Amino acid sequence: MGRIIRTALRRSVSRVRHVSPVRPSAARGSVASVYAEVEADFGLLAPPVALHSPAPVALAACWALLRETLVASGLATRAVKEAVAASVSRSNTCPYCVTVHGATLRELTEGRGLTDGTFAPVEAWADRSGPRPFPSEQVPELLGVAVAFHYLNRMVNVFLDDSPLPPNAPAVAERFLGRFMGASARKEYPPGTSLRRLPAAPLPPDLVWAAGNPVVGDMFGRVAAAFDAGSRVLSGEARDVVLAHVAGWDGTPPGLGRGWAHETVAGLSPADRPGALLALLVATASYQVDEGAVAGFGDAELVELTSWASFTAARRMADLTLRATEV
């Protein structure tokens, strides 16, 4: 069954919307290197990572963000990290990530004397409804996981289906998915191996909370610089409009209408509005992104723009989490 799950999830790369990811058999250079490390350390070629492959720098940044927070061994246990991942994914209404990380958490904790309430305090912290229940030394890792999933949830909502499993998969498939993911999650992984693909860069002031862990801090400096490069798809004026809106956003979904977004970009030139509108939707209402919103963008620039917008929102959510939960 493990082989079947691995094959099914590898094939699910073909179900990515809006862009055409690099097929594993066609991967070369840095893309092939990332694909190999994802399969070795995560257990499978995760479609949320592979969808970035039309933009190799964004691919390397996405994998570094996920690996050095969730996967790499550290002070926090993998089970606690998976609880944070699942909680953030629920708050962002990302059923794909809830399925994967909820199943992994159940497999890591089943039969170990843990109750449903074991992770309630850290789950409440992750969705900003409770104080921080862990020592400050673990903030870089666990807030790092939260940032990773605020980022990934948005990218998944834009590019992937609601489930990682094939249509009409039997109910037992989710249980086997958990067993498959749990086998990989129980292993130890040395920190830092993903960083070699991205040049060193200073840690931005808003991410200073990551500095307490040298590897996580180093990773966030490199990843922030890599994703920031994606903003080149926008003009400087359009970029400033998006940044100003996200900086004043309170983290709650704006609802189903798009009037607020059109009003926000109304002062831009007609050529600038589509990119700014897409970035705003990805950052604050990723569930609203449709074919019309992505029309006119090439694969690489679409991945670059959406990754910048997603990471911009994830950074804002880190600030809001610290403000709401620090004691």
Extract the tokens encoding 114: 């843990």
Q: How far apart are CA 77 and CA 182, in angstroms?
A: 13
- DSSP-derived 3-state class of residue 187: coil
Extract the tokens encoding 260: 């607020």
**Inter-residue contact 60 to 126 (CB < 8 Å):** no
Torsion of CA 48, 166, 45, 152, to 10 degrees: 10
The closest alpha carbon to 78, from 131, 34, 122, 124, belongs to 122
Residue 175: left (phi > 0), alpha (psi -120 to 50), or beta? Answer: alpha
Exposure on the CB side of residue 42, measured as CA atoms within 13 A: 28
**Inter-residue contact 213 to 74 (CB < 8 Å):** yes
Alpha-carbon separation of residue 252 from 93, 172, 198, 323 (angstroms): 12, 34, 32, 15
Angle at 179 between CA 174 and CA 180, to 5 degrees: 95
- State yes or no: is 97 an active-site residue: yes
From the list 45, 50, 60, 97, the catalytic residue is 97
What's phi and psi for 255, nearest 5 deg?
A: 105, -165
State the catalytic residues.
97
